[in-house]
Amino acid sequence: MVLGRLRSWGVGVVVLGLAGGGLPAVAAPADRTGERTVTLITGDKVKVAGGNVTVEPGSGRRGLLFSTERTRDQLYVVPSDVRGAVAEGKLDRRLFDVAGLLRDGFDDRATSSIPLLVTYKGKQRAALPGATATRALPAINGAAVTVAKGSSPEWLTAVGKIWLDGKRQISLDRSVPQIGAPTAWRAGYTGKGVSVAVLDSGIDATHPDLAGRMAGAKNFTADPDGDQVGHGTHVASTIAGSGAASDAALYDGKVCETGGCPESAILAGMNWAATEVRAKVINVSLGGSDTPDVDPLEAAVDRLTEQTGALFVVAAGNEGPKAGTITSPGSAQAALTVGAVDKQDQLAGFSGRGPRAGDGGLKPDVTAPGVAIVAAKARDAVIGDPVGSDYLSLDGTSMATPHVAGAAAILAQQHPAWTAPTLKGALIGSAAPAAEPTAYEQGAGRVDVARGIEQSVVLESGNLSFGTASWPHDDDVPITRTVTYRNFGAQPVTLALSAVLNDPAGNPAADGAIALSANTITVPAGGSVSVQATANTRHDGPDGLYSGRLAATAGALRITAAIGVDKEAERYSLTVKHLGLDGQPYPGETRVHSLDQDVSVDTWDKSTTTLRLPKGEYVIAGGQQTEGPQYYRMVHAGLQLTKDTTIVLDARTTKPIRLTLPRSDARLVVGDVGYHRAAADPSRQIGLNELFTDQSQIHVAQVGPAVAPSVMTGWIATQWGRPGVDGDFRNTPYLYAPVHTTPGRFPTGLTRTVRDRDLARVDQTINATSDDALERTLSAGTGNGSGFVTPGIRFSAPTTTRAFLEPGFPWVTGVFTIDPDGRISGVGSDRRTYRAGTSYAERFNAAPFVPAPVLAQRTQDRLRLEVTPTGDADGNRGRSANDAAASTLLRDGVKVAESRAFGFVEATGLPAEPASYRLETTQTRTSSFSSRTDLTWTFTSAATSEPTQLPLLGVRYRPQVDGRNVVRRTRMSTVPIVIDAQPGAKVPPLRTLTVHVSGDAGRTWHPATITPTTAAHYQATFETPPGNHISLEAHLLDSTGNTTTQTVINAYPLG
């Protein structure tokens, strides 16, 4: 998007997101979490409030293109001047994932700096002005640094790579006997003399199980020493104390804080454990998403293993049961990667599965118990299910990993000279495979240290991973791997070798798919022998993951290795060519996104890009930038890749955007050209908004045929106003919001003369509650869950402004303020659709502000209630910043749920039989309007098979207020009343309605006379009491016995 410094224009740019497949029912003020801001490394600010996103370019960055893209749980906002570095991997893409930055606590309220990992180019150490080095990271030839937000450092291209110093997550009795540890103990092997480092959340050294086991500790985090989470202590006691290697010497490398595990801390901890402590075994029960590239943590594991011989035992992650869910750094080649089984040796559903991203490598290596593991509870633990006062039960590959680390310590005590490759091979070779799981699910099988200590022959080469054989397979060349057996015994051993391989369905693979160079070998005492294993994918068997076992036996001796072969499924070459305005090759950017697989590829500054991709459907988006700047965007909405294909993105096919407004003084506030493409799997849908403030710069085109309108919508949406003398749109007297959509296609230009009669005219009056400026948004979107860009324009209230809106679209108006803490107060309309040539009048922010029902629903054993506290007199729902709030739900007088929010509570596990329920909710706030609000609702509910609405009612008042929400004092007051139900529900008949009024903030109350007028409408008449404010208390009883009692203190002022 081409975007100026919009905040200096009195404008914020808001992108409505893909929220639940539709537009939000209430505008931004309904968001419970308030506004959060993230300043990107480029100095640009992104503000998020619920489903709304505001982009503010940094100083001097007017005219850049900012692409806003949503996929799965990510929200990427990438400026055009760094797209190339992101696409080439020089800048970590996570630096621009706003959703991820918020999840990990990198918003501006939490931190004023951005933590980075930088790698140097060779031995050169570039100067990094403006950066503060926090620690050297020799394991990656780099350093951890912090950069002040907003500084937009100029050295971004002076270093090798820049990564976000992100946060990994800790990967949340019969288990020790299950791996054979008692047999090792009886043989005298308890890990004595072996140093084991635990890189985790810290260790509570005061726990009785760990007393005397701690050999050293170092804290790499900003948190205090010790374990404030409980994870590291649990892991440590599974290794030592009452764990597998009870006499191992533990080193506590605290790398995880309460909010996650900074990657710089993990890297520093790895280096400390391997090079300073010189630990024999290093337990790493944490991880994060893996990518095809080698990330800093993977690189550190591989480098430190080679340099020091330390064995890194790493969790496979808890992202199963899907394939390809191994997390990093468990994805490192040198790591001994551990999956999880339960106490019956059944693979845990959460356990991460292979193959490894990028190369189809075989992971995990082994499994171990990781379900319902009971181990030490740290004094300050906040996780797990307590078992007594000193222990916790936890699930996860985090729990499986220390079992293997303990087993490795036992072997290291038995064989002090063994280093990582031998320890890893011994644990793999002695593992016990289960019958059903594949090699990509369990590796070699569940660790069996009892067998490990007895076997004198070790598989030094580990599991057999043949990687990926590229499709098609009629020209495949056999792949050979060397398998090495080493005999540490005093006598030669003759091994019988056999290999089995199964196809993706579990049937025996075709003849010749796996072959050995020998069926029998003799390994001399103290020596080694190698054989060749050859995988041949040139056969008629199905494509996919082949899995098997290599077994070497000699009497009771059994050495196993997992075999993995990825016979690549059908793939084709996709070539994307960019042609410029002269018809010649032109460097451009290309984005290829799969709609049915986990494939997404970016390239930058290339006139031709060739990719090898799985058969399937893809969206292809391309862009070119020329002098001016001028931007050319082209989108292919749905390519079915079933053969080698070339797509040409020709800038000459694009057309400009040219809108002519009926008013000569109208100027573009913001424009949005974008699309939303649905997918059968909603997690693979993709949406793009590109924002611009100068329509003459933008040229767009659809490439290829259209797709079904039900799966694709393109759009060009603009909003126009009248700027002041400084170019500021504040208090613009009008706003035009024409929208053009292209179902099934991306737009190919637009030429339109906008006329008043083609739009709906909406006059909006905005009342004031203070002297602070308000922000007004007019948001719309498509029916498939996409939102157009809308500016938030500031107004001095009270005011009346006119909007000309595109008919046929659901529009949502929001009127709100944001306090210094980012908390939102205001109101928002429901979705409203307008007709062309029709005039409408609306009012917002009119007192009094009272509770408004949003949702009351029962489904089976679940009950959810939501009421907004400060809806206005015209039925616009709203929320506000408050000083205190609470909600409680009681069932037959017993509390079943509560929250610290007004009007929101959710209960699960409720009994099916009918019962009496009572919601009590309250809020106080510092305001001249509705300073305290109390609501009590009683009702009867029982389990229902389908979602069922409950009769939650609100009482809304409509006194005659002026623009500043003041009611003129008269001797007698008449106040219209409206009874509201939740959206989509009908108001039931009422048995009684009573209203009391107070002029002294509720100290004394006086009854009002109630007169019905029309359906669900009444009128309250009362003698106006002394005082400056009117407080209102209502009680109603409906025809089925449900009640609502609502009290609003200082509902409106008198003047």
d(CA 709, CA 744): 4
Q: What tokens does 854 get?
A: 């949003």
> In degrees, to the nearest 5, what angle opens at C-alpha 403 toward C-alphas 401 and 409?
105
d(CA 286, CA 489): 37
DSSP code at position 219 = E
d(CA 425, CA 172): 26
398 catalytic per annotation: yes
> In degrees, to the nearest 5, what angle opens at C-alpha 588 toward C-alphas 585 and 591?
125
Strand 645-650 to 571-579 pairing? parallel
Task: Point out the catalytic residue in the list 152, 165, 209, 231.
Answer: 231
676 catalytic per annotation: no
Name which of 405, 177, 164, 204 is nearest 291 in CA terms.
164
Name which of 796, 673, 802, 780 is nearest 735 in CA terms.
802
605 catalytic per annotation: no
Q: Are 854 and 875 in contact (CB under 8 A)?
A: no
Task: Point out the catalytic residue in the list 328, 398, 465, 973.
Answer: 398
By CB atoms closer than 10 A (0-12, 13-18, 19+), residue 744 is middle
CA atoms within 13 A on the CB side of 693: 24
- Number of other residues whose CB lies within 10 A of the CB of residue 505: 8
Judge if the upstream peptide bond of residue 733 is cis by omega within 30 degrees of 0: no
Q: Are 666 and 595 in contact (CB under 8 A)?
A: no
Helix (H, G, I), strand (E, B) or coil at 827: strand
The most distant pair of C-alpha atoms in the chain lies apart, rounded to whole Å, by 112
The H or E element that residue 302 is part of is helix 296-308
d(CA 388, CA 366): 31
| Tokens 């017993």 sit on residue | 894
Cα 231–chain centre separation: 22
CA atoms 284, 290, 294, 296: torsion sign:
negative
d(CA 516, CA 514): 7
CA atoms 453, 457, 458, 459: torsion sign:
negative
Edge-to-edge strands, sheet with 608-614: 608-614, 571-579, 645-650
The H or E element that residue 147 is part of is strand 142-148
Task: Point out the catalytic residue in the list 200, 227, 247, 1038.
Answer: 200
| Contacting residues for 401 by C-beta, under 8 A, at least 6 apart | 171, 235, 283, 284, 285, 313, 314, 315, 338, 368, 370
> In degrees, to the nearest 5, what angle opens at C-alpha 956 toward C-alphas 952 and 962?
160
The H or E element that residue 425 is part of is helix 420-429
Give 704-757 as a DSSP string.
S----TTTEEEEEEEEEE---TTS--TT-SEEEE-EEEEETS----EEEE--GG
d(CA 170, CA 284): 9
Q: What's the one-letter identity of residue 541? A: G
- Number of other residues whose CB lies within 10 A of the CB of residue 265: 27
Residues annotated as catalytic (active site), given as ranges: 200, 231, 398
